[in-house]
Amino acid sequence: MAILSFGGSCFSANSLFGRRFAFYVATCLSILVGSGCRSKPIAVPPPLTRLEAIQRYNVNVRAVPAFKANVGRWHTQFLDRDGKRRRETEQGGRLYYRPPGDVQRQPMFYLRANAFGKEALVLGSNAEEFWMYSRWGEFGRWGKFRYLGRSCADNVGIDPHTVLEFVGLLSLPEQLPYPAYKVCPETNVLVYIGVDGDGFSVRREIIIDRRTDLPIEINAYDSDGRQIIHSELQNYQPIAKAMLPGNILLAWPQQDSFIRLKVRGFKVDSGTHTTKRNRLFTRPDRISDIEDYRQIDTGCEE
C-alpha cells in the first residue's frame, strides 16, 4: 500500500462536529441574556504525531474486555429481496464480545436485534467463521474469515468483521507504511491510500476526536472515490479501562441502507455461563423457519 499526502477539508458540513457546533450555538442563544452561556469548552490538547494517534487508538481497542450489553432502540432502512425500501424501528436485543487472545487471534462477536419477539437480525462470529441471518427477512448467510473479501466469495452485505472495524474495535497497523495523516482543529484524520492500475485512491478514512483520541467517524471508499460504508460513533461509555460507543450508525450509501443502534448497560462478562456463551459463538448448522441459509464462499474451496 502506498502512502500519499493529500489536501481537503477536515470535516464536512454534515459532520458530527458541524452538528455539535450548531447545537451548541442554538443552546446558548436559547438561554436568557442575564444568565449567559457559561459552559466552558473542553480545551483541545496539543497535536499528536501520526504514530501517537494510531497507538492511542489501539490502546483503547486492546483495553476492551469481554463484555455484554443491551441493544435498546434500533432503527434500520434496507432494500428487501424484492428491491423495495423498508424502514423499521424496534427495541430489544443483546450484544456480546470476546477480545482476541494469544491463540485465538480473531475477536468473537454476537449481536441480536429483536422485532415482535423474532430475531430481526443476528450477526455472529468465532475464530474461523462468521454468519448472519434474519427470521424477519427469512434468509441467512455464512462464510469463513480466510475467504472474506476474495472474488470467489459472495458479498454477505453485513458481517461481524465490518461491524467491528467500523465501530473502532479492530486495531490499526503500527508498522510502515503509515497512512496519510492530517491534524485538524478538532480532529486527527487517518487516511489509507490504495494503488490502482491508473493511480491512487482513498480506501479508508478514520476521523478521531482530538480531545478523547476516540473515533467519531469511519468511512470506506471504492476505487472511484464513492463512499461505500459510513459509520458515526457517539455517546462513549466506560467499561474497565476502555471506552465504547453507545450510539452507533452504520450506513451503506450506495444501497440507501443503514442500521442505527443505541447500546446501553455495558458490563464485563466474567466468564460465568461459559457453556451458554459458547453456544452464541458457534455457527448454527441450520436455522429453523429459514430455508434460504447458505455458505457464501463455497467456490473458494474448489
Q: Are the beta carbons of 191 and 179 closer than 8 angstroms?
A: yes
Q: Are the beta carbons of 100 and 110 closer than 8 angstroms?
A: no
> d(Cα 203, Cα 227) in Å, to the nearest integer?
9
Q: Are the beta carbons of 205 and 221 closer than 8 angstroms?
A: yes
pLDDT of residue 272: 60
Longest CA–CA separation in the chain, Å:
75
Q: What is the pLDDT of residues 2-58, one digit of tens each?
A: 433 333 446 444 444 444 444 443 444 343 333 444 456 789 999 999 999 999 999
* Residue whose cell numbers read 424502514: 87
pLDDT of residue 93: 93
261: which strand partners? 74, 248
Q: What are phi and psi of 140, to 5 degrees?
A: -160, 155
Q: Are the beta carbons of 182 and 189 closer than 8 angstroms?
A: yes
State the Cα angle at 125 between 58 and 189, rounded to 5°.
Answer: 30
- CATH for the stretch 16-301: 2.50.20.10
> d(Cα 153, Cα 295) in Å, to the nearest integer?
9
Helix or strand or coil: residue 87? Answer: strand
- CB-CB neighbours of 169 under 10 Å: 20
pLDDT of residue 222: 93
230: which strand partners? 219, 251
Q: Are the beta carbons of 292 and 140 closer than 8 angstroms?
A: yes
What does the radius of gyration of the chain's CA atoms come to, in whole angstroms? Answer: 20
Strands 129-134 and 139-144: antiparallel
Distances (CA, A) of 104 to 98, 128, 175: 10, 9, 22
Sign of the alpha-carbon torsion through 268, 135, 89, 257:
positive
Per-residue pLDDT of the chain (302 residues), as tens digits, is 443 333 344 644 444 444 444 444 344 434 333 344 445 678 999 999 999 999 999 999 999 999 999 999 899 887 766 777 878 888 899 999 999 986 667 899 999 998 777 788 899 999 999 999 988 778 899 999 999 889 999 988 788 989 999 999 999 999 999 999 999 999 999 999 998 878 899 999 999 999 999 999 999 999 999 999 999 999 999 999 999 999 999 999 998 899 999 999 999 997 666 778 889 999 999 998 899 999 999 999 86
State the Cα angle at 209 between 205 and 213, rounded to 5°.
Answer: 100
Strands 67-79 and 93-98: antiparallel
> d(Cα 105, Cα 78) in Å, to the nearest integer?
32
> d(Cα 45, Cα 235) in Å, to the nearest integer?
20
pLDDT of residue 6: 38
pLDDT of residue 39: 54
> What single letter denotes the amino acid at residue 278?
N
